[in-house]
A and B are shown apart, each in its own frame.
Chain A
C-alpha cells in the first residue's frame, strides 16, 4: 500500500510505505515504531507530538508524512549524545520537570529547538525592542506556550530551562 518514502529518524535512515493520509506522527509511531513523540490531541493544540524536522520544531500530527520524503527527524530519543543526556534532558531530571511524563518528549524537542531559535535571534511575542537572545522567564514561558502539560509541571519546566540558559552563559 502507498508511496515509498525515506526518513532519517534519530540518525537512522528508514524506508517506509505510506498512504497519503498518514501524518508524520503516525508514520513514526505506527509504521516505524518510534513511539517517542506522543499523540495527545492530534490537532496541533498540545505539542506532545513535537519533533525537530529538518532543524525546526513542528507538530508532527499536522504534517503529512508523504510531504516530508527525505526529511531528517529528531525525536526526544535522538537528543542524547550516546549515553550522555542532552543538557535540557539533564535539567528536566534535576528539576523534576515532569509528573506523568506524557508531554515530556514534546517538551524536550520544543525546548531544544526553542533555545536554538533564540540563539539565532528569532524574537517572540514578548521580546518587543529587547534582545531575543536573552531568555528571561517571561520569554521561556511565551516560547514554550505550544506545549501543554496537564499535570501542571510548568513551574519546574521553566526552572529547568532557566538552568540550561544560565549554564550556557557560564
Chain B
C-alpha cells in the first residue's frame, strides 16, 4: 500500500473542503472496497478522508412520503430497516443478496454506489486496463469476459458495475444527494454512473470532491410489488452474473376481471453494463399490456435485441431472459393475490 495522510472530516462540508485541497484524495467510509483496492495498488490516494463517522446514518420518511437514506447507513441496517422491508422489498433483497454478513455490517449506502468494478484485469496491476491506466488497453474483450458487459460497452472497456443495491435503486427511481464545492445538488441514480465510452476511468458523473450524502427513494404505491432476482456462480457471497430488479403495479380492478393489465413497471438489470441498466425497451412493451408469460417474453426479447455479448459471456443473454421473465411472473402473481385480498376486504 502506498503512503497517505489520514484525516477525519468533522462534517460533510469539511470533507468536501478537504477533498478540494488534494486532487488525489479519496473518501473512506466502510472501506470494504477502497482498502482492498489500496492493498492491490489499484488505488493510490495521497489523502484518505474518513467520512465514516459523519452524522449521515439516518433513514427517515420525509413529509412528501419519500425515504431519506443517509450515505453512511450500513448495508445491513438498511436491509433490515422496517420501512425498507415493508415498502421497498426489492432494495432489502438486493442488499441481502450482496457480499457477506461481515461486509454488509461495514459497507455504506454511498460507498456501495461508488465501489468499482471487480473486472479481473482492473484489479491486477500487472495487466493492462484502460479503466485503471487510461490508454493501456483492454484484455477483457478478447480474454476472460465471463462477468462482463452485454449492454453499452465500448472498445475501451467492457467492465460491469458490481453493486446489487444500485440496481434496486435504479428500479426505484432513486435520487442521489451530492454535496460539492458549489453546494448541494441532486442526480437521478440512473444518471450517476456513466457508460465507459472512451473515458472508462470515469465511473460516475461526480467530481473529485463531490460527496454523496444521501439517497432518496420516491414514495411507492401501496399496490406496487417489487423484487430482486440474482444469478451467480454460488448460492451466497458472490457477485452477480446477472440480476434483475423490478417494481410492478397492475391496473386497478383488472386482476378481478380475468386479465390483469400492467399499469406501471420499472426494471433494472445488474451485471450487464458499466452502470445499473434500466430496461426501458422492456418496460415499454409491458406498460398497459396484459401480465402474461407471452408479454414477459416479448419484453425480454425487446430489451435483449440491443445485447452485444462477447465470446465469454454469451450465456448472459439467456440468463437475463430467464431471470426477467421469472421475476415478472412471480411479481404478477403476487400483485394479483394482493388485489384479490384487498378486493375481498372491500366486499367486492
Contacts and interface: CB of A to CB of B under 8 A. Distances in A.
Interface of A: 3, 19-21, 23, 42-44, 47, 50, 56-59, 62-64, 66-67, 110, 113-114, 117, 121-125, 127, 141-147
Nearest to B48: A20
Contacts of B6: 3, 20, 64, 66-67
B36 A62 contact: yes
Given A20-B5, A21-B4, A57-B105, A146 B48 contact: no
Contact of B97 (A56, A125, A147): A125
Contacts of B79: 122-123
A146 B35 contact: no
B236 A125 contact: yes
Contact of B31 (A62, A122, A145): A62
Contacts, number: 96
Interface string B14-32: 0000000000000010011
Nearest to A62: B35
Interface string B29-44: 0011001101110000
What 7 A-B pairs have minimum CB-CB distances, sorted nearest first?
A: A146-B100, A145-B236, A20-B6, A125-B96, A145-B237, A56-B105, A122-B80
Contacts of B96: 123-125, 127
B293 to A, nearest CB: 23
Contacts of B35: 23, 62-64
9 contacts: A58-B102, A62-B35, A67-B50, A67-B52, A123-B92, A123-B96, A124-B96, A125-B97, A146-B100
B49 to A, nearest CB: 11
Q: Which of A110, A125, A127 has the most CB of B within 10 A?
A: A125
Nearest to A113: B101
Contacts of B235: 141-142, 145
A147 B76 CA distance: 17
Interface residues of B, number: 35
B103 interface: yes
B106 interface: yes
A47 B99 CA distance: 11
Contacts of B155: none
A146 B101 contact: yes
Given A3-B6, A21-B4, A125-B93, A59 B101 contact: no
A44 B32 contact: yes
A20 B93 CA distance: 35
A145 B85 CA distance: 22
A47 B32 CA distance: 13
B3 interface: yes
B76 A43 contact: no
Nearest to A56: B105
A166 to B, nearest CB: 21
B1 interface: yes
A44 B36 contact: yes
Contacts of A123: 79-80, 85, 92, 96
Contact of A47 (B4, B28, B36, B102): B102
B101 A110 contact: yes
B31 A121 contact: no
Nearest to A57: B102
A110 B4 contact: no
Given A42-B39, A67-B50, A59 B103 contact: yes
